[in-house]
Amino acid sequence: MANMRVVGLLFCAGLACCAALDDVTQQLSRDILRELIEIDTTDSAGTTTRAAEAMAKRLKDVGIPAADIQVLGPAERKANLVARYRGSGAQRPVLVIGHLDVVEARRSDWTTDPFQFVERDGYFYGRGTQDMKASDAILVTTLIRFQHEGYRLNRDIILALTADEEGGKSNGVDWLLKGHLDLVDAAFVLNADSGGVTTVRGKPVNVDLEASEKQYADFELTALNPGGHSSLPTPDNAIYHLANALSRLERAPFPIELNAVTRTYFERRAPLEDARIKADMNAILRTPPDTAAVAQLSQDPRYNSMLRTTCVATRLNAGHANNALPQTAQAIVNCRILPGHSPEETRQTLIRVFADSKISVRYLNARGEADQAPQSRGFPTVLPTPEVLRPLEEVAAAMWPGAPVIPEMETGASDSIYTMAAGMPSYGINGIAIDQDDIRAHGKDERIRESAYFDGVDFYYRFLKALTATK
Ligand SMILES: [Zn+2]
């Protein structure tokens, strides 16, 4: 423990961020994280049920009424935990969500056993340390601390720890919203799956707040041809049709489009960047945006993904024999669509870009392919409500002084799509610092800095208090 303090101080030298947690809370939060990491919650061999039950037991053991704690789900291995920490009811509840499942991890790929909790060199290692058992453990720790203190909130906090965010057929958030809305209905949602603290070598740069999300869509391209003997080639070749269509896609990026969230992101991020990127960010904020600056920023995949809808070829499958002309050539194009645009609109754009009537473009959904894609345009991007932003800025300023809170658009996808679809504004907030070059979610040797974990414990406690202070 003494070691850990030293590590914490080293990384936070000169900053007020490491008001050390008391030993009891450190021990508790470490034990909960260890327990979660060592329960395999992968889709293939694991179970979220054991993890949900273990967390339910911890909450019951400290006196949260059993009637306020449910473990429920559509399948034996896929249960979710829903726990309600009761407040005065002056305001509508807040729902806090986190997924319990983790991505597969092979022992042979890792330096350590991914399902063992390993403490080494100031880090905690294990599958889920970044995505997202650390946040799950932090949330459970926070409710336990509130219960110990008898802390009175102005509203209920509903904690839902759920299954199948990473894959699998039993997405817990979707399942709870569809069948048990009464358990999880809330004024807004905090999703601890995104929105941490971006650091460079441990030094905080900015605090992320995910406030908007792109839509996900897969399209299947198919070129058909009668085929024939490969000794008698013709120009009309299914593989050439497909290859040409894909290279047209490569050369036709979608137009740049900023919204309230990404505009604010670039405004607040620009002052933190070096001179050239700063100038580019300011130049794309002009009307019309500077085209050279757009081209420059688009070189960086992170910024590119915030500027536009992206569609990229991810799979290919063609032909049936080395000595035959191909009868079928297929590709998958994966799109991440800006809010305000629909998958069907994107499909029509792809058809225009491919400019080849021999290629069919079908939308792929969970049940297979469809001729038409959904017309839904995502959720309007609005800046976070002051009710959430103000307490976040307050706590962030105390813990990571000088690192501004920056709203972001999630360019991947999270469970917030379900809560937003249910009409609940949803914000990604977690308060865990990860170096921007040490993102290991879904990868090997996933880890979290010990000091960053304990800061996260401290953060959620302070943030939920600030958010639910009696008015
Ligand atoms: Zn995640």
Residue 168, C-beta contacts closer than 8 angstroms, at least 6 positions apart: 43, 78, 101
Q: Are 455 and 431 in contact (CB under 8 A)?
A: yes
Secondary structure of 272-310 as H, E, C letters: HCCHHHHHHHHHHCCCCCCHHHHHHHHCCHHHHHHHCCE
Residue 59 Cα to ligand 1 midpoint, Å, equals 23
| 131 CA → ligand 1 middle, Å | 5
Q: What is the Å distance from ligand 1's center to 193 Cα?
A: 5
CA of 152 from ligand 1 middle (Å) equals: 30
C-alpha 64 to ligand 1 mean position (Å) = 27
What's the CA-to-centroid distance between 442 and ligand 1, angstroms? Answer: 9
* Per-residue pLDDT, 443: 83
- Measure the CA angle with vertex 427, ends 421 and 430; round to 5°: 135
CB 242 within 8 A of CB 330: yes
Output the CA 426–ligand 1 centroid distance in Å.
Answer: 15
In the reported structure, the alpha carbon of residue 414 is separated from the centroid of ligand 1 by a whole-number distance in angstroms of 7
The residue behind tokens 């990384």 is 11
CA dist., res. 341 & res. 254, Å (int): 12
Mark the residues whose beta carbon lies below 5 A from ion ligand 1.
Answer: 131-132, 193
Residue 3, pLDDT score = 36
The DSSP secondary structure of 2-25, one letter per residue, reads HHHHHHHHHHTTTSGGG-PPPHHH
CB contact at 8 A, 83 and 159: yes
Tokens standing for residue 189:
């949602």
Q: How far is the C-alpha of 289 from the C-alpha of 294, rounded, in Å?
A: 7
Encode burial over 400-424: b for 16+ CB neighbours within 10 A, e otherwise. Answer: beebbbbbbbbbeebbbbbbbebeb
Q: Strand, coil or helix: what is 188?
A: strand
Q: Tell me what pLDDT residue 410 has.
A: 87
Q: Give residue 229 CA to ligand 1 midpoint distance, Å.
A: 49
Closest CA to 160 of 48, 21, 322: 48
Structure tokens at 186: 């809330």
Please state the pTM of the whole predicted model.
0.85
CA of 255 to the centre of ligand 1 (A): 29
What angle separates helix 23-37 from helix 133-149, to the nearest 10 degrees?
140
Please state, in angstroms and rounded to a whole number, the distance separating the CA atoms of residues 63 and 52.
17
Ligand 1 centroid from CA 434, angstroms: 14
**Residues 142-166: b if buried by 16+ CB within 10 A, e if exposed:** bbbbbeeeebebebbbbbbbbbbbb
The pLDDT of residue 15 is 40
Rounded CA separation 47/64 (Å):
24
Please give the distance, rounded to the nearest whole angstrom, from the Cα atom of residue 329 to the centre of ligand 1: 34
Q: 190 C-alpha vs ligand 1 centroid, how far in Å?
A: 13
CA 187 to ligand 1 center in whole angstroms: 23
319-367 pLDDT per residue, tens: 999 999 999 999 999 999 999 999 999 999 999 999 999 999 999 987 7
Q: How far does the centroid of ligand 1 lie from the alpha carbon of residue 408, in Å?
A: 16
Distance 351 CA to ligand 1 centre (A): 33
Nearest to 102 by CA among 50, 179, 26: 50
pLDDT number for residue 436: 81
The 10 Å CB-count burial string (b at 16+, else e) for 295-307 is ebbbeeeebbbbb
- What is the CA(15)–ligand 1 centre distance, in A? 29
CA 99 – ligand 1 centroid, Å: 7
Residues of the chain with pLDDT under 50: 1-18
Tell me how far apart the alpha carbons of residues 121 and 112 are, in angstroms, rounded to a whole number. 13
pLDDT of residue 471: 60
Span from the CA of 166 to the centroid of ligand 1 (angstroms): 7
- Which residue in 97, 84, 142 sits closest to 426, CA to CA? 97
Please, which residues bridge with residue 363 across strands? Answer: 219, 370
Residue 464 alpha carbon to ligand 1 centre in Å: 21
